[in-house]
Amino acid sequence: MSTTSGPASSAPQPPVGIDELLERVRAGYERIEAREAYEAARAGDALLVDIRYAALRERDGVIPGAHVVERNELEWRLDPQGSHRLPEATSHALRVIVICNEGYASSLAAQSLHQLGLHRATDLVGGFQAWRGAGLPVE
């Protein structure tokens, strides 16, 4: 007979599909629309961070003033305690607006930033395509 000293084991949870995961993640913060993101950035109240890969930026252009940070570097570049942070990433109170192409990957990225303590992090509903569709500046 064996004994265990740890917590009682529980049955494994069923896998969560991406649609349910996105719904859960997005319930944890308020997403932002393109016009509001534009105004927040213009007012100096938010840092726009474009996580799209290079081919999309080359194809569609970039948002003036947005910081381009590849998705695989995002946490290192925005962690205020990190040695590889952007110069602007000086506080956990920083309002970061993550932008991907259509607003899906950016939701997961914003959630990751929340786990680092950046509780004002959010993402752009509809991503870069919504920004461009709203007639906002693109270079």
pLDDT at 11: 84
The stretches in the chain having pLDDT less than 70 are 1-9
Of the candidates 43, 41, 53, 39, which has an alpha carbon nearest to the alpha carbon of residue 100?
53
pTM: 0.89
pLDDT of res. 2? 47
Structure tokens at 130: 């919504």
108 C-beta neighbours (distance < 10 Å), count: 17
Query: What gap in Å lies between CA 21 and CA 33, rounded to an integer?
Result: 21
Distance of alpha carbon 80 from the chain centroid: 15
